[in-house]
Amino acid sequence: MKTYEQVLEELRERKDEKFRLFNERIVNVPSGSSIGVRTPLLRAYAKEFLKQEDFSFDALFSFPNEVYEVRLLKCLCVGYEKVPYARLVSLIGSCVPILDGWAVCDLFCSTLKVFKKHREEFLPEIQKYLDRGTEFSQRFALILLLGCYMEKSCLPVIFRALDIVDTRPYYTYMGAAWLLAEVLVKFYEDGVQYLKTGMLDARTKAKAITKARESFRLTQEQKNFLKSLKNG
> Which pLDDT value is given to residue 232?
62
> Which pLDDT value is given to residue 228?
94
Q: Model confidence at 158, in pLDDT bands (50, 70, 90)?
A: very high
The predicted-structure confidence for 41-53, as pLDDT tens digits, reads as follows 999 999 999 999 9
How many residues can be counted in the chain? 232
Residue that wins the pLDDT comparison between 117 and 186: 186
| Residue 81 near residue 50, CB atoms below 8 Å | yes
What are the Cα distances from residue 126, in Å, to 51, 142, 203? 30, 8, 23
pTM of the predicted model as reported, rounded to 2 decimal places: 0.95
- Mean pLDDT over 99-128 rounds to 94
DSSP string, the chain: ---HHHHHHHHHTT--HHHHHHHHHHHT--TTS-----HHHHHHHHHHHTT-TT--HHHHHTS-S-SHHHHHHHHHHHHHS---HHHHHHHHHHHGGG--SHHHHHHHHHT-GGGGGSHHHHHHHHHHHHHH--HHHHHHHHHHHHHH--SGGGHHHHHHHHHH----SHHHHHHHHHHHHHHHHHSHHHHHHHHHH--S-HHHHHHHHHHHHT-TTS-HHHHHHHHHHHH-
